[in-house]
Amino acid sequence: MGLPKARASAVLLVLSALEACALDSYVAAVYEHNVVLSEDTEVPVCPEEALVLMDKNTVILETAIKEVARQGCNIIVTPEDGIYIWVFTREKIHPYLEDIPDPQVDWIPYVAPGRFTPSPVLERLRRNNSIYVVANMADKKPCNGSDPRCPSDGHYQYNTNVVFDSEGKLVARYHKYNLFVTEKQFNYPKDPEFVTFNTSFGYFGIFTCADTLYHTPAVVLASRFQADSILFPTAWGNTLPLLSAVQFHSAWAMGMGVNLLSANTCNSTLGMTGSGIYAPDSPRAYYYNTEMENGQLLVTELSSCSHLSPDYPAAVNWKLYASSIEQLPSNDHYFTGVVYHDLFSFTELTEPEGNHAICQQDLCCHLSYKMAEKQKDDVYVLGASDGLHVIEGEYYLQICTLLKCKSTDLNTRGQLVETAQTKFEMFSLSGTFGTNYVFPEVLYSGVQLAPGEFQVLHDGCLINWTSTSKPVLSVTLFGRWYEKDPPHTQQASP
């Protein structure tokens, strides 16, 4: 007697996957850091002065690392631009750069300092304290006229993540591929890098900030490489109502079915805050605070092999339910508005309960809802948007959203609101998406998440389990149609 063939190979598959995860779970930490700025970043500094500034930040990061190592954490992520800030020109950042070797050189920087070109940051960043550490810094790589892409100043400058293992060995290096429009100080690598590494507590992938809006390398790491957990340093300015950090990053983890360890910087002037540790089924820990200027540590347990966890969400057919609905959108209360530079078609939810549909281009969105008690100051709309976003990056969106508006004044729809008073007894939102990449967001008053209060059904409906525990700011299916994106732009090439 033997197992049927299909069953036997399924068992083998599970066993080999389990071998990569000797531990069922691990303890993850992220640190939201308020980056110490130089007194005057307009003035060029010498490398020694740059090091003094960087030390102010690495000392703070090292304190957080030691604290979580003492608590028995396996890994900690620190933010993008966490060692020096983002305000540099290409020339001014030069004294801060280090030539970071390929991890294949098998190097423990503090054990063998000076083995490569001067690398004081790498050498200081990491001591042997039994925890994996993820940090963001900048790499420089010399080039010359034999390379037609070589910048005129003779080197490439990359926004770079580094990972040290529990002994302090450099095990991963990732050069950011999708630079934000303001990052003129950096180049992106000619070919995107897919950086992964294995540990006894799971299989990891890594990328940075704006990468999360694009297909490559982010989606490839989660889907083709099947990474269990993604390490994600970021410096994310909150863009309500649909792209605040905790909202979008938790939705990405759920939509892609991975753990996401997201460490943001905090900067109240630029609206940067919001870090979290997100599992595929629900956020496990998160932090959002626009007033605090101190650092913040988050620590929580995660499943090592997220794909094998019993909580792992089943595959979703995103357009199944909405495509089966016959109801045509009524043109009552139909109007258009702009949310973060994207044109939306809206219909207002005038009644405390009902069914609505709204379409734009090829996307039709459907909503059934019942408010617990409609507060008369709260205005809610159902919106649909189907088109190419072109501000601060170009990417194709398909969005269905139930949104609280600032007021009944037509001109303020889509404007930034952070609070609401109306709770919902039920909502069910769906859309006729052309893409399989849809990120489900539920955001409550005060920019709070709704862990464990909602789910996506296999037919693509985003529904709540019970009455919402807090008033609702937005309920959104944020679809990304990557095939319709323009080719990777040349925006940051010199």
Give me the residues that bind ligand NAG (CB under 6 A), please: 20, 37, 85, 87, 108, 111, 128, 144, 146, 167, 196-198, 203, 267-270, 293
Shortest CB 87 distance to ligand NAG, Å? 5
What is the token pair recorded at 462?
């985003």
Residues pairing with 239 in the sheet = 243
Shortest CB 359 distance to ligand NAG, Å? 41
Catalytic residue among 140, 176, 374, 423: 176
d(CA 161, CA 206): 8
**Beta carbon nearer to ligand NAG, 167 or 453:** 167
Shortest CB 195 distance to ligand NAG, Å? 9
d(CA 309, CA 307): 6
**Beta carbon nearer to ligand NAG, 199 or 300:** 199
Identify the three-state secondary structure at position 55.
helix
Name, in order, each residue with C-beta under 8 angstroms of 63's C-beta and a sequence gap of 6 or more.
none
**Beta carbon nearer to ligand NAG, 191 or 373:** 191
What is the helix (H) or strand (E) element at residue 4, kind and residue range? none
d(CA 317, CA 456): 10
Shortest CB 198 distance to ligand NAG, Å? 4
d(CA 355, CA 124): 59
**Beta carbon nearer to ligand NAG, 128 or 448:** 128
Catalytic residue among 32, 62, 80, 441: 80
Q: Are 334 and 345 in contact (CB under 8 A)?
A: yes
d(CA 33, CA 273): 9
Shortest CB 269 distance to ligand NAG, Å? 4
d(CA 486, CA 484): 7
Name, in order, each residue with C-beta under 8 angstroms of 64's C-beta and a sequence gap of 6 or more.
29, 31, 33, 76, 78, 295, 297
Shortest CB 17 distance to ligand NAG, Å? 6
209 is catalytic: yes
Q: Report the Cα 17 to chain-centroid distance in Å.
A: 25
Q: How many residues does the chain have?
A: 494
CA distances from 486 to 20, 395, 396, 489 (A): 37, 7, 9, 8
**Beta carbon nearer to ligand NAG, 114 or 354:** 114
Identify the three-state secondary structure at position 261.
strand
HEC states along 400-444? EEEEEECCCCHHHCCCCCCCCCCCEEEEEEEECCCCCCEEEEEEE
Shortest CB 35 distance to ligand NAG, Å? 8
d(CA 68, CA 30): 9
**Beta carbon nearer to ligand NAG, 175 or 404:** 175
Helical spans, DSSP H, in 188-342 = 220-223, 245-256, 320-324
**Beta carbon nearer to ligand NAG, 8 or 270:** 270
Cis (ω within 30 of 0) for the bond into 280? no
d(CA 257, CA 433): 19
**Beta carbon nearer to ligand NAG, 64 or 379:** 64
Shortest CB 344 distance to ligand NAG, Å? 30
**Beta carbon nearer to ligand NAG, 203 or 252:** 203
Helical spans, DSSP H, in 257-356 = 320-324
Edge-to-edge order in the sheet of strand 259-263: 196-199, 202-206, 229-233, 259-263, 275-278, 283-287
Shortest CB 393 distance to ligand NAG, Å? 19
Catalytic residue among 209, 305, 400, 405: 209
User: Checking phi first, is residue 106 left (phi over 0); if not, alpha (psi -120 to 50) or beta?
Assistant: left
Residues carrying an active site annotation: 80, 176, 209
